[in-house]
Structure 1
């Protein structure tokens, strides 16, 4: 089986080296779990990222592996004066297109990996890591109050038999033995998420979680991630979602989101 001679890498990445024995009972990030080190600057093969490339991932039978989506490229944090006007990024560069067009272009999909969302949210916001040169201080030298708003439908959807940011576990075994089943794989991912929530909070980042779903009760996974029970909210409608963000904005003054 082939994916075609013209197949090219589409820009997504697999995470750097990790520790494959993190289980549901692991309560601290191991030293060699480089993917969970928020501030680690790449300096070796183990600490660098690798191409996420479905076209070169095959099962033993010769067929291509099933793949989760490669998402749209991340964007710098931006400011928009109105929803229908152009914005500016943190360096003052004009962003073409308005906020409404950008939002309309987003498309929901399954396979929600909370862990990788929290990893990159913390990386973007940390004042002492990969992006320290642009967000360690404000332009006038004041300290930055760091708030991470994590919104999801509350369901952690990760599959051990799909190619994702940690490879294809049935072949690569990056998050556990290649033979572990779906239940154990989800437990391990859920614990990785909690470890990252704790790491972000330990860096002084206030973590807010919003569960946008039919349930009016915030699930344990998101409730335990938040900085406190008051920092976790459930929204069952568009109006409730607006209210949740409004309450956060009132609390912290200026709202800066990390995607």
Structure 2
């Protein structure tokens, strides 16, 4: 017996099977645990990405700080798209998104899910629970937004779809921009306005030294019958019109001094201007060159003294000008300012859209929108590059309902182009008869060049085209195709809202 037991103790055959059986359980636990942890890790990443996407989409859909069921639905839609039911076997994913009770500009979210195990269920672990968190906030930053608004006569008409006039649709629609950017004062947003048609009403924004004292206007002899302005008239010349001969020397100023006349013109509310020569060119008794090219000096250069006519702007005086068939002066422009509430902003919009008249000279509108926005020009004291040590972002929104159309017989910011020919630039009054196609093409080229300049100055340019055929120059003016909007008039508020939602930086805060 003792010998048998000894042999049995020394017999090792079959031990490997027993050892493997004993080790199988921890090996399965290691392999199964590693596999299930790997799947859980990947699922958690997918869940986090979906939570982030939902929070960002929800915050982007908010208009200002307005949290509602539509915003919540948009957030859920993006979560479901990024984490569809059944992802890695998950059937019970849950996403919760809401407005932060301490910061209305922020959304806070969480997502939970249970990941089914593949091997760990052997050990009683059927699911591994995961949870992620996400926050999204929109940092508006500090923004200066210049609205360049087409106030030509066609804005009085309804769009092709009928109904309310286009001007009323604009007044209502632009409120979408304000609402979308209202963040309760967390950042500073200022608005400026540059209404335009044939010229711009900006004299109140200028100083006395910015206005020409002795300017030249057309002198059309009686031999050029006003009923035949469309015919060639070589006898037209220029005559000097000093302050004492100005329309504004009508006794209401209480003085006939040059400064009193200029001051009366500037503060009259009818301070539309004639554009000055291109930078580096001479006023030359009113026969000066403007051209299609525009430089930063054209935008920024200021007169050095009261008689610096090369850098001064003329008085738009249809009462003294001759040789034209149509004049128009729009409402006054406004420099950047903060409007604390919707009613304040609405009042300002009503003021700048009060006068709707004239033909479409898009280049003069874009030119003065850029001038009023420049950080280094005539209005630099009101246009700091930073606010509270943070940079100010500048946006120009160009709105129009049609193509530039310059007939040559309007009295515009460029004089009466049939005779003055300043943009074409031959510099001789009355010696040619450029047709309206030529003049329109020159102004459209000038508009495009101003858009390019504005973008090179660091401004973001948005374009809204209302009720008009597609015009390539309009889309090219915008900073990108995403900054270009077309509207038939029915969705104008949505377009402006979308622009407001596109301004500012959307970021994850967790």
Report the TM-score, using the length of structure 1 for normalisation. Answer: 0.76
**Residue equivalent to 1:159:** 407
**Residue equivalent to 2:62:** none
* Structure 1 residue 21, shift from structure 2 partner: 7.9
What are the equivalent positions in structure 2 for 1:97-116 lying under 5 Å apart? Answer: 98-99=347-348, 101-102=350-351, 106-116=354-364
Alpha carbons of 1:30 and 1:69: their partners in 2 closer, same or farther (altered >3 Å)? closer
**Residue equivalent to 1:228:** 480
Q: How many residues are treated as equivalent by the alignment?
A: 224
Distance across 2 between alignment mates of 1:113 and 1:66: 16
Distance across 1 between alignment mates of 2:332 and 2:376: 23
**Residue equivalent to 1:38:** 299
* Structure 1 residue 101, shift from structure 2 partner: 4.8
**Residue equivalent to 2:342:** 83
Aligned counterpart for 1:122 among listed residues 354, 367, 370? 370
* Structure 1 residue 58, shift from structure 2 partner: 1.9
Deviation track 1:199-250 (CA, whole Å, cap 9, x = no partner) reads 10110011110001154xx411201111111111101124x21111111111
**Residue equivalent to 1:237:** 489
Higher helix share: 2
Distance across 1 between alignment mates of 2:294 and 2:356: 33
**Residue equivalent to 1:257:** none
More displaced 10-residue stretch of structure 1: 66-75 or 148-157? 66-75
Higher CA-based Rg: 2
**Residue equivalent to 1:68:** 327
What are the equivalent positions in structure 2 for 1:197-212 lying under 5 Å apart? Answer: 197-212=451-466
Alpha carbons of 1:51 and 1:101: their partners in 2 closer, same or farther (altered >3 Å)? closer
Distance across 1 between alignment mates of 2:340 and 2:375: 26
CA contact (8 A) 1:194 1:221 kept: yes
Distance across 2 between alignment mates of 1:99 and 1:162: 28
Is 1:17 the counterpart of 2:281? The answer is no
**Residue equivalent to 2:261:** none
Report the TM-score, using the length of structure 2 for normalisation. Answer: 0.40
Q: Which runs of 5+ in 1 are unaligned?
A: 24-28, 60-64, 88-96, 255-259
SS at match of 1:207: strand
**Residue equivalent to 1:136:** 384
CA contact (8 A) 1:137 1:143 kept: yes
Distance across 2 between alignment mates of 1:183 and 1:130: 33
Aligned counterpart for 2:499 among listed residues 245, 248, 251? 248
CA contact (8 A) 1:211 1:235 kept: yes
Alpha carbons of 1:146 and 1:57: their partners in 2 closer, same or farther (altered >3 Å)? same
Aligned counterpart for 1:219 among listed residues 453, 471, 492? 471
CA contact (8 A) 1:147 1:206 kept: yes
**Residue equivalent to 1:91:** none
CA contact (8 A) 1:14 1:51 kept: yes
Distance across 2 between alignment mates of 1:11 and 1:80: 24
Distance across 2 between alignment mates of 1:79 and 1:21: 34
SS at match of 2:299: coil
**Residue equivalent to 2:416:** 168
* Structure 1 residue 134, shift from structure 2 partner: 1.6
Distance across 1 between alignment mates of 2:435 and 2:330: 26
Q: Which runs of 5+ in 2 are unaligned?
A: 1-221, 223-244, 249-264, 279-287, 427-431, 506-510
* Structure 1 residue 68, shift from structure 2 partner: 2.6
Distance across 2 between alignment mates of 1:198 and 1:135: 21
CA contact (8 A) 1:83 1:99 kept: no
* Structure 1 residue 124, shift from structure 2 partner: 1.1
Alpha carbons of 1:46 and 1:141: their partners in 2 closer, same or farther (altered >3 Å)? same
Tell me the C-alpha RMSD between the 2 structures.
2.8
Distance across 1 between alignment mates of 2:452 and 2:473: 12
Is 1:196 the counterpart of 2:450? The answer is yes
